[in-house]
Amino acid sequence: MSRSQEVNEQKLEELQGKVLGDVAGSLGLLMAYLGDRLDLYSALAELGEATSEQLSENTGLDERYVREWLSANAAAGYVEYSAERRAFSMTPEQAVLFSAEGHPACMQGFFQAVVSNYLDEPKVHEVFRSGEGLPWSEHNTCLFCSTERFFRPMYAANLVESWIPALDGVRKKLERGAKVADVGCGHGSSTVLLAEAFPNSTFHGFDFHAPSIEHARDRARNAGVAGNTIFEVVGASDYPGGGYDLVAIFDALHDMGDPVGACAHIRRTLKDDGTFMLVEPAAGDSLEENLHPLGQIYYSFSTMICTPASRAQPVGLALGAQAGEKRLTEVLREGGFTRVRRATETPTNMVLEARP
Ligand SMILES: C[S@@+](CC[C@H](N)C(=O)[O-])C[C@H]1O[C@@H](n2cnc3c(N)ncnc32)[C@H](O)[C@@H]1O
């Protein structure tokens, strides 16, 4: 180690403190995931307050394990502990975040996504060495469920209420009856929400991952929108039909191998007065603008999922999940769109409107 690389003890301590917090956090979300799978949070929220014995009895789970799990949660600040009564409880905020399935603030889908990344680490390890890709289909199924679980509440809160109205003239077309494609639709959360809100329109969900399309069909049947949704297993550059009024891609363009080819196909299949709605992760245009916790989260998911998924496909452009508006606009223009603007945004996503 050269003189200039000497360790500054104070900086080392600060870094240790920060990383110790990260270690605690990584274990905290593992505890949260375990609690979700074992229905411990919902049981505790239901009981109001419980000792480990009462929670064990209520859930039919082993008391000693339940006590250790509760202790870890109390230390993390995920549940409250009363030393006087030896009892645990949850504040309304803790109950929402850990157990209110479908609520936009519930983070269990997020935790599940992180756990799925840990499960797939050996596969990603391999592609770092080989330089090859890792197809979406080769991830464990936990990833597909967590994607749906994590994204759906966000779409439910924003898509119909604010994203569609932010697009020029689109809401009216959907109300009257329009032809829409949702490309890379996954489990079809966005497709089904739109089909529920706009019964006069027809929604085509396309994804090349067959098990996801099966799920999407189930979701549509369960939501009572099988009549105005059609799901098909097909790639973004090959989906059938034309004359679409609206084509949308939700958090999937950067996963594609050939995003320019996909945009060009969208341009070809869109009416001349049609709209392409592109939803992508929020990001600045340079790495230095993305050096914060949200950037860390996106770059990490992108290392584990998005970049290898793109690399696994022809062209393998590997845009990454933090491509930023400038780079995305270039891709849209190369694909044949001339007018691109940021229609709206949330803290985690940007919504771009592209017109021919
Ligand atoms: C992160 S998921 C998003 C799924 C969905 N849009 C959502 O928001 O829940 C990315 C999706 O893109 C799909 N995908 C990736 N590349 C594709 C391609 N070239 N053609 C079609 N689908 C693709 C994957 O199968 C996956 O379902």
- In this prediction, residue 142 carries a pLDDT of 86
* 190 lies in some domain: yes
CA angle 167, 172, 176 (to 5 degrees): 140
* 5 lies in some domain: no
Total residues found in the chain within this entry: 356
Instruction: Supply the CATH number for residue 214's domain.
Output: 3.40.50.150
Same structural domain, 182 and 50? no
- Residues in the ligand 1 pocket, defined by CB under 6 Å: 136, 147-148, 151, 184-186, 189-190, 207-209, 212, 235-236, 250-252, 255-256, 309, 313
- In this prediction, residue 230 carries a pLDDT of 98
Distance 316 CA to ligand 1 centre (A): 15
* Number of domains comprising the chain: 2
Q: At a CB cut-off of 8 Å and minimum separation 6, what does 26 contact?
A: 114
Same structural domain, 72 and 193? no
Q: Whose CA is nearest to atom 17 of ligand 1?
A: 256
The pairs formed by 337-340 with CB atoms below 8 angstroms and a separation of 24 or more are 337/263, 337/267, 337/276
* 15 lies in some domain: no
* 8 lies in some domain: no
Distance 92 CA to ligand 1 centre (A): 35
CA distance 348 to 356: 27
Q: Which of 64, 80, 100 is the last residue of a domain?
A: 100
Q: Which of 75, 100, 125 is the last residue of a domain?
A: 100
* 2 lies in some domain: no
Same structural domain, 141 and 85? no
Same structural domain, 122 and 218? yes
Distance 184 CA to ligand 1 centre (A): 4
Same structural domain, 240 and 277? yes
* 68 lies in some domain: yes
Same structural domain, 258 and 180? yes
Q: In 300-322, which positions are buried (b, 16+ CB within 10 angstroms) versus exposed (e)?
A: ebbebbbbbbbbbbeebbbbbbb
CA distance 19 to 38: 29
Same structural domain, 92 and 204? no
Site to substitute for ligand 1 among 144, 249, 256, most atoms within 8 A of C-beta: 256
> Per 3-state DSSP, what percentage of the chain is helix, strand, and coil (rounded to 5)?
55, 15, 30
* 59 lies in some domain: yes
Same structural domain, 144 and 214? yes
Distance 18 CA to ligand 1 centre (A): 34
Q: Whose CA is nearest to atom 2 of ligand 1?
A: 252
Distance 235 CA to ligand 1 centre (A): 9
By the 10 Å C-beta count (0-12 exposed, 13-18 middle, 19+ buried), 21 is classed as exposed
Instruction: Supply the CATH number for residue 52's domain.
Output: 1.10.10.10
Same structural domain, 79 and 146? no
- In this prediction, residue 299 carries a pLDDT of 98
The domain containing residue 59 runs over which residues? 24-100
Same structural domain, 149 and 38? no
* 61 lies in some domain: yes
Same structural domain, 270 and 313? yes
- In this prediction, residue 15 carries a pLDDT of 97
**Can you give the pLDDT of all 356 residues of the chain as single tens digits?**
555 689 999 999 999 999 999 999 999 999 999 999 999 999 999 999 999 999 999 999 999 999 999 999 999 999 999 999 999 999 999 999 999 999 999 999 999 999 999 999 999 999 999 999 999 999 998 899 899 999 999 999 999 999 999 999 999 999 999 999 999 999 999 999 999 999 999 999 999 999 999 999 999 999 999 999 999 999 999 999 999 999 999 999 999 999 999 999 999 999 999 999 999 999 999 999 999 999 999 999 999 999 999 999 999 999 999 999 999 999 999 999 999 999 999 999 999 999 99
Q: Which atom of ligand 1 is nearest to the CA of 212?
A: 27
Distance 185 CA to ligand 1 centre (A): 6
Same structural domain, 144 and 246? yes
Nearest to 319 by CA among 261, 264, 259, 275: 259
- In this prediction, residue 5 carries a pLDDT of 85
Q: Which of 76, 100, 124 is the last residue of a domain?
A: 100
Q: Whose CA is nearest to atom 26 of ligand 1?
A: 186
